[in-house]
Amino acid sequence: MSKPSSTNPRTRIGLIGFGCVGQGLFDILERQPESGFEVKRIAVKNPTKLRPLPANRFEFRADELLHDAELDILVEVIDDAAEAFRLVSLALRQGRRVVTANKAMVARHLPELLQLQREFGGTLLYEAAVCGSIPVIRTLDSYFGQEPLRSVSGIFNGSSNYVLTRMSEGGSDYAEALAEAQAQGFAETDPTLDMAAFDPRSKAVILAAHAYGLLLNPDDVLNLGIENISPADIRYAAERGQKIKVVASLQPLSGGGATVFVTPQLVPADSPLYDVEREFNGVVVEAEFAGQHFWRGRGAGGHPTGSAVLADLVALRNGFRYQYDKLSGATVAEAPELELEVYLRNAPEGLQHALGVTNESGEIIVAAAPEGVLGYISLNKLHKHRDALRAAATFVAQTGKTRQAVAQPTQLATELVAE
Ligand SMILES: NC(=O)c1ccc[n+]([C@@H]2O[C@H](COP(=O)([O-])OP(=O)(O)OC[C@H]3O[C@@H](n4cnc5c(N)ncnc54)[C@H](OP(=O)(O)O)[C@@H]3O)[C@@H](O)[C@H]2O)c1
């Protein structure tokens, strides 16, 4: 990259948010002056907070940056998804170039954000929103824009992965491992978004747009987490030569579209995800012609996330925008009733009946409540009873095996009697 000069001036950045990611980006740009970016204005929220830069570098009305025509690119890295959407959509209405790291905001509002870009000519990039420094969005969007993908899967949340690693290494229980992750700065004080898999669900929804041309409502995607895991579950996996990981899974449907869900999974030793440990993320893409690709990298932290924002800044300066090639041609098929093979522990009998757990032959099976049971459950029923599973302290992990729904003998018998 050529050094900035009077004929090649620096690209001026308006930075909104100066927390973990904002400071990470700022530090990277300070260390890399030859990148040609300069942070001109910084907006934050709290006027009384101590800052690592002189007070005169900060201002407190982010809207003013949106109206500053001297700024070439706006970087939105605040921790408030509703306010982020307001700011980013206002900026796009002015046809501006914007980078965000806010996955919850992008996942929930992608259709509107696309519409605003079409209508007003601005550009929004968000590589940092999914798996931090792993360049997955641009690769799916551009490199694999025309190639069918057999699956996209991965570990998209470093906090829960850290807890799982500590539980399997150290024999700690969930509460101890979570406290350690919080002390190390790998988990938030309110761990629900990470541990109950809301955060990786947002990331899966974003990838579904680029990989399969699907604009999904996050609420329609099943997310099960690890809040109810116990050392017995870790042992169950270890005895089978497996590890439990929270895996986001995107699989195409034959008529178009894809099935997307995020659940704990029993991962075998020959999976690339088996060795993704601690706060690391991993992504596996099975492409029709390219075969298997696997990335492992840091999904969070100031510098890794700042690195992804820097990559977006360079891309914007070069005139890049996402192509969303698969979006234009996507036709969404009626999803067939998919059943997942799951390991289910501590499910009350009533809940097992409601879930309709079946064996290989499709016969209903019920285990004594605290016991683990292996059986098939429809994805829709898992989704419908997600909150009941969480409330009953039930742990669910899928094995990776799926099948189309089979008629249950009891149901069949009832139907025959009714006729
Ligand atoms: N942390 C990571 O590793 C990571 C990784 C990937 C993506 N992300 C995403 O990146 C975004 C930022 O995360 P973070 O960890 O950097 O958050 P953070 O450390 O909590 O910092 C948030 C920053 O936003 C500022 N802010 C909040 N509301 C504002 C408003 N209305 N106007 C101006 N500034 C405002 C805060 O101001 P004050 O300083 O005054 O409080 C603070 O500087 C989030 O969307 C997060 O999901 C984070």
Q: Give tens-digit pLDDT for 360-376.
A: 998 999 887 778 899 99
pLDDT at 184: 86
pLDDT the model gives residue 417: 33
Look at 288 and 328; give whichever has higher pLDDT: 288
Co-location of 264 and 366 in the same domain: no
CATH of the domain at 77: 3.40.50.720
Both 155 and 101 in a single domain?
Answer: no
What per-residue confidence (pLDDT) applies to 407?
A: 56
Ligand 1 site, residue 226, Cβ cutoff 6 A: no
Predicted local confidence at residue 2, as pLDDT: 42
Q: How many CA atoms lie within 13 A of 212 on its CB side?
A: 30
pLDDT of residue 406: 63
- Name 46's Cβ contacts closer than 8 Å, sequence gap at least 6: none
Do 156 and 215 belong to one domain? yes
Residues 367 and 271 reside in one and the same domain: no
Q: What is the pLDDT of residue 368?
A: 79
Distance 318 CA to ligand 1 centre (A): 26
Shared-domain flag, residues 187 and 116: no
Indicate if 118 and 213 belong to the same structural domain.
Answer: no
Shared domain check, 350 and 240: no
Q: What is the pLDDT of residue 335?
A: 64
Whether 45 is catalytic is: no
CATH number at residue 235: 3.30.360.10
Q: Which of 125, 159, 189 is the last residue in one of the domains? A: 125
327 within a domain of the structure (yes/no): no
Q: Which domain holds residue 228?
A: 146-298
Question: Which residue type sits at 321?
Answer: R
Distance 29 CA to ligand 1 centre (A): 18
Q: Are 15 and 22 in contact (CB under 8 A)?
A: yes
Task: For residues 188-192, give the mean pLDDT.
Answer: 87
Query: CB of 348 within 8 A of CB of 365?
Result: no
303 CA → ligand 1 middle, Å: 14
Q: Which residue do the tokens 């895991």 mark?
A: 229
Checking DSSP bridges between strand 280-287 and strand 97-100, what pairing results, if any?
Answer: unpaired
What digits encode the pLDDT tens for the residues 252-273?
988 778 999 999 999 999 999 9
Helix, strand, coil content of the chain in percent (nearest 5): 40, 25, 35
Q: Tell me what pLDDT residue 9 has.
A: 84
Q: What is the mean pLDDT of residues 296-308?
A: 96
Within-domain flag for 95: yes
Percent of the chain surpassing pLDDT 70:
92
Per the structure, how many domains does the chain have?
Answer: 3
Whether residue 118 sits in one domain with residue 52: yes
* Protein residue closest via CA to atom 13 of ligand 1: 79
Residue 404's pLDDT is what? 83
* Per-residue confidence (pLDDT) for residue 203, from 0 to 100: 98
- Within-domain flag for 167: yes
* Domain-embedded: residue 132: no
Instruction: Let me know whether 155 and 279 are in one domain.
Output: yes
Tell me whether residue 382 is in a domain: yes
Residues 288 and 158 in one domain: yes
Query: Do 113 and 60 belong together in one domain?
Result: yes
Say if 133 falls within a structural domain. no
φ/ψ of residue 182, rounded to 5: -70, -40
Domain end, chosen from 244, 278, 298, is at 298
Ligand 1 probe mutation, 23, 58, 78, most atoms within 8 A of CB: 78
Residue 405, pLDDT > 90, answer no
pLDDT value at 414 more than 80: no
**pLDDT at 416 (0 to 100):** 32
Q: Is residue 308 part of a domain?
A: no
- Residue 318 forms part of a structural domain: no
Ligand 1 pocket member 207 (CB < 6 A): no
Residue 242 has pLDDT above 80, yes or no: yes
Segment 45-66 shows an average pLDDT of: 98
Residues 57, 179, single domain; the answer is no
Please give the average per-residue pLDDT across 213-227, as a whole number.
97
